[in-house]
Structure 1
Amino acid sequence: MKTRRYSTRDKVLLAGGLGVAVVVNVGLIWGPTLASVALSGTGWNGIGPIKWVGGENYGQLATDYPPFWSAVRNNLLWLGFLGLIATPFGLFCAVLLDRKLRFSRVYQSALYMPVVLSLAVVGFIAQLVYSSDYGVLNAIFHLKVDWLGDRAINIWVVMIAAGWRHVGYVMIIYLAGLKAVDPALKEAAAIDGANEAQAFFRVVFPTLRPVNVIVLVITVIEALRAFDIVYAINKGRNGLELLSVLVTENIVGEASRIGFGSAIAVILLVISLGFIVTYLSQLFREER
């Protein structure tokens, strides 16, 4: 088999293509990330001289900044809701649609429709549904519940609105994975006497491992970077505090505290990497 030799022109094109990708990646992702890590140890306000304060920002977060712990709680609730309720429901919808139900294309389009909307738009729709003054929900059922103003329930109703969008995203990914499963596997399981549930959990679902990794990463990222929907509703306050909102408020808010906001961003980065790296390391260990 002859080995192709790259010409000078090919090498220039490859170097140019890779070079642009690397520059963009470093400039827009790794550069700001490393800068945030460095600035998290400073007391910089974005204008004056940069003053090194070490771990003072992290200590203040833990002991003297109540919104931080509320945001951590809400982000973990968000992650648990998407991971344990919205994602399994998306998988369930994908399994039903994979059975070639009548009007499955209509159901698929209806479930996927929210995915084309940004979370900010979903937030405005949530206001129309849950508003205590003009909300559809209170009007239909003749209720007087302040769904978005009550700190005890507003995070739950907002998570339902975000889950509405997440279900369609997960559904379409799993549906693509199910279409790629060899039908012979299901037939072999049926011949061995397995019912539909046993065939799915013991034969089909294990073959979806690569899809599961993708869905897990998407779920963690969606849960931890959630910002648009709560900011559109009430700027992420009164029970809707999230880490991403605190980062924005401290870095570009009225009282600019870039070092303090960067410390929150670093914690958000560590939490997200912790989930993803732990799962991927276990996955690769099992494959080896």
Structure 2
Amino acid sequence: MTPRDRVLVGLMLGIPVLADLAFVWFPALSSVVLSFTRWNGIGGLDQIKPYGVENYRIAATVDPQFWPAVQHNAIWLLVFVCLATPLGMLFAVIIDRNIQGSRVYQSVLFLPVMLSLALIGIIWELIYSPNYGLINSITGHNHDDNLVNWLGDPHLNLWAVLVEACWRQAGYVMILYLAGLKAVDPSLREAALIDGSNAWQTFFRVVFPVMKPINVVILVVTLIESLRAYDLVYINSHGPVLPGLELLSILVTQNILGEQTRIGYGSALGVVLLVISLVPISVFLYQTFRREERP
């Protein structure tokens, strides 16, 4: 390898590593350190005061929005796992059968993924409009005496926003499963059909287990997407989070960038969010790769 090649390789490896350290690891480790302090973001580093685990105690016992936010994130994850993911997998299986117009259906279903989350929130806000929205107009609930406020009612708004999120997530999962289905060896399906398996048995007993790497990716993506949910809630709330739409990501932003800045407390919530996301992913990946290493 020539000196020029070494410099080129060093740059190709060094620049991404430095960027990762600067924009991922340094902020993450800084948040962990700041979570044990009290700081309102004003003044220099001398204004940062040690606070121990008090921020975590406040979150668990004092903050009335913390546990509802955890509950709503859990609901978000369950809906993604039980609705958006199976729906995306169904779309992928149907399109993979090369039915007439499959490319058109694929483009239509993938269209929400190409739109920004802010635009998706605006589109669905028009659909959910109490007086002029599509849903209330069709159901006849667009009069002042029988309005249904989909985004303002704390008993409905979380489910309304979840419909928006699933609309996009299903298309994303569909593309991932389509990639996995295209990589499956056709001879496996042919062998299963020769053995007398129907389409249902062929998919779940032969094709689905072979797509294990794709399933791992989809599980990780689903968990991350459900925990970092922010854009749709922010757009539909028009500022301060509405009752019923509390999420951990929203609370982190409100405490770090809100009117009452509490950097330490916001960092503690960010660490909680980080732990919740890392623990199940790490356990699942450890168990998966451990099984693969066994003879």
TM-score scaled to structure 1, two decimals?
0.96
1:193 counterpart = 2:196: yes
Residue 166 of structure 1, CA deviation: 0.3
- Which of the residues 55, 58, 74 maps onto 1:57? 55
Residue 180 of structure 1, CA deviation: 1.2
| Cα-to-partner distance string for 1:226-270 (whole Å, 9 max, x where unaligned) | 100000011432211111110000001111100000000000000
Residue 275 of structure 1, CA deviation: 1.9
Stretch moving more, 140-149 or 22-31: 140-149
1:208 counterpart = 2:206: no
Tell me the C-alpha RMSD between the 2 structures: 0.9
Contact 2:255–2:263 under 8 Å retained in 1: yes
Structure 2: distance between partners of 1:76 and 1:103: 37
Percent of residue pairs bearing the same amino acid type:
54
Structure 2 partner of 1:45: 40
Structure 1 partner of 2:28: 33
Secondary structure at the aligned position of 1:66 is classed as coil
| Cα-to-partner distance string for 1:111-138 (whole Å, 9 max, x where unaligned) | 0000011212111112111121221110
Residue 70 of structure 1, CA deviation: 1.0
Structure 2 partner of 1:275: 280
Structure 1: distance between partners of 2:92 and 2:235: 30
Structure 1: distance between partners of 2:11 and 2:109: 41
1:106-145 correspondence runs (5 A): 106-143=104-141, 144-145=147-148
1:243 counterpart = 2:238: no
Structure 2 partner of 1:178: 181
Structure 1: distance between partners of 2:9 and 2:271: 34
| Cα-to-partner distance string for 1:30-51 (whole Å, 9 max, x where unaligned) | 0000000000000011114000
| Cα-to-partner distance string for 1:141-189 (whole Å, 9 max, x where unaligned) | 1122111111111101110110000000000110111011111100100
Structure 1 partner of 2:85: 87
Ranges in structure 1 where 5+ consecutive residues have no aligned partner: 1-5
Contact 2:154–2:242 under 8 Å retained in 1: no
The total of aligned residue pairs comes to 283
TM-score scaled to structure 2, two decimals?
0.94
4+ runs deviating over 3 angstroms: none
Structure 2 partner of 1:151: 154
Name the aligned partner's letter for residue 75 of structure 1.
N
Contact 2:152–2:242 under 8 Å retained in 1: no
